[in-house]
Amino acid sequence: LKERKHRIEDAVRNAKAAVEEGIVPGGGVALLQAGAKAFDKLELFGDEATGAAIVRKALEEPLKQIAINAGLEGGVVVEKVRNLTPGEGLNAATGEYVNMFESGIIDPAKVTRSALQNAASIAALFLTTEAVIAEKPEKAGAAPAMPGGGDMGF
């Protein structure tokens, strides 16, 4: 019941966000295609070019991960979508390339923009921080041995 309530609340928030700023193709397509348009026209050199390449690569990752989760090769899907008409992308449920708007695979523009802005903010914070304290992950040891069977009648 709580799961259902959270889904409804999430849907209401997404609908409000869509009304505020509109919608974009979902499934990582908007990030990939907007990134291609934004970076293709820039003439950057040195560190700026390196930073732009990192951001452009990061914009591919949501689509790539969706493809991997669908059992497809992420890099191949990214290249295919990169060469499609704007607004077309992968329907991960069917494995077909479709018009995302017509198929109802959309995201609120506000949510996509906010996610990108928050990621950039955290990246900038890490770049300007001299030290970071983090927990070292513990290595998972081998599973404990099975206990004896006792007198199981064998």
Give, rounded to a whole angstrom, the gap between the first and last alpha carbons of the chain. Answer: 47
The pTM assigned to this predicted structure is: 0.74
The total of structural domains in the chain comes to 1
Whether the Cβ atoms of residue 110 and residue 20 lie closer than 8 Å to each other? yes
Residue 21 domain-assigned?
yes
Nearest to 33 by CA among 25, 43, 42, 21: 25
Which CATH number characterizes residue 97's domain? 1.10.560.10
Cα–Cα distance measured from residue 92 to residue 70, given in angstroms and rounded to the nearest whole number: 6
- Report how far residue 17's alpha carbon sits from residue 96's, in angstroms, rounded to the nearest whole number: 28
Is residue 140 in some structural domain?
no
**146 has a pLDDT exceeding 80:** no
Confidence of residue 127 (pLDDT cuts 50, 70, 90): confident
Residue with tokens 């609340």: 9
Residue 94: domain span: 2-128
| Residue 113 within a domain | yes
Q: Is residue 152 one of the residues assigned to a domain?
A: no
CA distance 28 to 112: 9
Q: Across all residues in the chain, what is the average pLDDT?
A: 88
**pLDDT more than 90, % of the chain:** 56
Which residue matches tokens 């064998």?
Answer: 154
pLDDT digits (tens, 9 = 90+) for 12-71: 988 998 899 999 999 999 999 988 888 888 889 998 889 888 999 999 999 999 999 999
On the CB side of 103, CA atoms within 13 Å amount to 19
State the pLDDT at residue 152: 59
Distance CA 91, CA 80 (A): 13
Q: Exposed (0-12), middle (13-18) or buried (19+): which is 100, by Cβ within 10 Å? A: buried
Within a domain: residue 71? yes
d(CA 13, CA 61): 25
Name the pLDDT band for 151 (thresholds 50, 70, 90): low
- The reply to whether 144 falls in a domain is no
